[in-house]
Amino acid sequence: MSSLHSVLGELTPLPGVRGALVVSRADGLVVADALREDVDGRAVAALAASLADRMAGVTRALGQPEPVAWQLVGSEGLLLAAPTREDLLVVVVADPAVNAGELRLRVLRAAERAA
């Protein structure tokens, strides 16, 4: 496993990224974070893990594997997450204007490295 902080270090320089975290899926707690001051890491971790569980429930009901990534888009920002093999979740909070395509690729790569 790469250093989790170095994994996050590849996400935060992207313009529009408010913060990045590695979250424990099971208990919704922060494992590592790199956040702007105005981002509540504890809230991101708890809510992202909970939402990830909900979405895994949807794909399970369809007989499908868990999503490899998911994205919640709001009018003022977005939350992008990808689970790792270690029951962790790489999560990024970003502005709406972020380059979502590049961010997605970086998050997927980070999830692989964090495994």
Question: For other proteins, which is the closer residue by CB, 1 or 26?
Answer: 26
Q: What character string, x for contact with other proteins (CB under 8 A) and - otherwise, covers 51-90? A: x--xx-xxxxxxxxxxxxxxxxxxxxxxx-----------
How many Cβ atoms are within 10 Å of 75's Cβ, its own excluded?
6
Question: For other proteins, which is the closer residue by CB, 6 or 97?
Answer: 97
Residue 71's identity, in one-letter code, is Q
Hey, CA dihedral for 73, 110, 33, 18, is it positive or negative?
negative
Question: For other proteins, which is the closer residue by CB, 2 or 50?
Answer: 50
Binder among 1, 5, 43, 97 for other proteins (CB under 8 A):
43
Per-residue burial over 31-65, b if 16 or more Cβ lie within 10 Å, else e, is bbbbbeeeeebeebbbbbbebbeebbeeeeeeeee
Token pair for 20: 């990045």
Number of residues engaging other proteins in binding (CB under 8 A): 44
Binder among 49, 90, 111, 114 for other proteins (CB under 8 A):
49
Which residues would be at the binding site for other proteins (CB under 8 A)?
23-24, 26-29, 39-40, 42-51, 54-55, 57-79, 93
